[in-house]
Amino acid sequence: MLRKSADYIKSLKGKNPIVCLTAYTAPIARAIDDKVDLMLVGDSLGMVLYEYENTLQVTLEQMIDHAKSVVGASKNSCVIVDMPFGTYEDSINKAFLNVARVMKETNCNGVKLEGGQKMSNTIQHLCKSSIPVMGHIGLQPQSVLIDGGYKVRGKEKSEWQKYIDDAIAVEEAGAFSVVLEGMAEPLAAEITSILNIPTIGIGASPKCDGQILVTEDMLGLTNVAPKFVKKYIDLDKIIKSAVCQFSDDVKNRNFPSADHIYHMHPKIVSGNNKNS
Ligand code: KIV
């Protein structure tokens, strides 16, 4: 089966809900590859894997290294890589060079960048240069220091037009889809009904064309998960229980058992070795 493309994801608008999750590492990518349509190598990896306070410290090199493992360990889903803070905002040319590096070095299917109207010229240039781009509007984690922090957007109707204009700008610039993050539900539903490209919600609306979560959040591997996260399993608890059993086995000398050790070749054991 061929890997799903950004065009294929775009074609799902109005058809099937689009299933998306983040993947930062090979084991997670391998586990979820044939169950999701799209895997995002999100810059949330800075907070989830590296314990950074926000996503601003994440580097292009980190994104490239993680994206290489995710692409290498998967073959079905569309892999999109987040452009980290500081690699695309400054100039269209710099954005193109950094995005081209990500595409060349990782063999991913496209990139995601944050920003609506203010990023539309960049998105347009990238799309015209044959690079599939996913937009990201609403709560933009790379702007939390200046933009009201992690607060939900569009709770007042007076705020709506800005976000609707952002969404339209991203679509008109040529993006194949757009993430709507941290938005009042009716605003996300309204944007979804206006756009011709799929909206992917996170803390948004069940009416979005697809949904995305941080995989570690839904698996119960992160300390604090926001209200919009549904925890499907408590892997932290399961890991702790497995490690407890391992610890008991080691302390009681029950591990390694005969099944887990290397035995001598039978000839050597039976004393046929001349030098023995
Ligand atoms: O970085 C990320 O994981 C994201 C998703 C939360 C959409 O941008």
Instruction: Work out whether the CA dihedral 135, 139, 144, 148 comes out positive or negative.
Output: positive
Interval between CA 202 and ligand 1 midpoint (Å): 8
Regarding the beta carbon of 80 and ligand 1, being less than 6 Å apart is answered no
User: What share of the chain has pLDDT > 70, as a percent?
Assistant: 97
Q: What is the pTM of this model?
A: 0.95
Interval between CA 254 and ligand 1 midpoint (Å): 43
Q: Which residues pair with 18 in a beta bridge?
A: 210
Look up residue 244 and give its two tokens: 């407890």
Regarding the beta carbon of 42 and ligand 1, being less than 6 Å apart is answered yes
Interval between CA 53 and ligand 1 midpoint (Å): 15
pLDDT for 132-158, tens place per residue?
Answer: 999 999 999 999 999 888 899 999 999
Cα separation of 262 and 275, whole Å?
A: 22
Domain 6-232 has CATH 1.10.3720.10: no
Instruction: Work out whether the CA dihedral 106, 71, 24, 35 comes out positive or negative.
Output: positive
Q: Any idea which of 25-39, 50-64, 214-228, 259-273 has the lowest mean pLDDT?
A: 259-273
Q: For position 270, what pLDDT does the model report?
A: 54
pLDDT for 83-102, tens place per residue?
Answer: 999 999 999 999 999 999 99
Contact 116, 138 (CB under 8 A): no
Which position has the token pair 């306070």?
53
Regarding the beta carbon of 44 and ligand 1, being less than 6 Å apart is answered yes
Q: For position 180, what pLDDT does the model report?
A: 98
Q: Residue 80: pLDDT above 60?
A: yes
Atom of ligand 1 nearest to the CA of 44: 1
**Region 67-74: what's the mean pLDDT?**
98
Mutation to probe ligand 1, out of 81, 179, 222 (largest number of atoms < 8 A from CB)? 179
Q: Residue 224: pLDDT above 80?
A: yes
For ligand 1, atom 4, the nearest C-alpha belongs to 42
Q: Residue 275: pLDDT above 60?
A: no
For ligand 1, atom 5, the nearest C-alpha belongs to 42
Instruction: Work out whether the CA dihedral 186, 213, 3, 115 comes out positive or negative.
Output: positive
Q: For position 269, what pLDDT does the model report?
A: 57
Tell me how long the chain is: 276
Q: Residue 225: pLDDT above 90?
A: no
Q: For position 215, what pLDDT does the model report?
A: 98
Interval between CA 93 and ligand 1 midpoint (Å): 24
Interval between CA 26 and ligand 1 midpoint (Å): 18
Instruction: Work out whether the CA dihedral 96, 204, 217, 22 comes out positive or negative.
Output: negative
User: What share of the chain has pLDDT > 90, as a percent?
Assistant: 93
Regarding the beta carbon of 169 and ligand 1, being less than 6 Å apart is answered no
Q: For position 267, what pLDDT does the model report?
A: 79
Averaged pLDDT of the chain: 96
Interval between CA 272 and ligand 1 midpoint (Å): 63
Atom of ligand 1 nearest to the CA of 114: 8
Regarding the beta carbon of 135 and ligand 1, being less than 6 Å apart is answered no
| Catalytic residue of the set 105, 114, 156, 181 | 181
Look up residue 88 and give its two tokens: 């695309």
**Region 161-171: what's the mean pLDDT?**
98
> Which residues have C-beta within 8 Å of that of residue 119, sequence separation ≥ 6?
88, 89, 113, 135, 170, 173
Look up residue 79 and give its two tokens: 């892999």
Verify whether residue 114 is a known catalytic residue.
no
Q: Where in the chain is the domain with CATH 3.20.20.60?
A: 6-232
The three-state secondary structure class of 179 is: strand
Contact 65, 25 (CB under 8 A): no
pLDDT band at 195 (very low <50, low <70, confident <90, very high): very high
Q: For position 276, what pLDDT does the model report?
A: 39
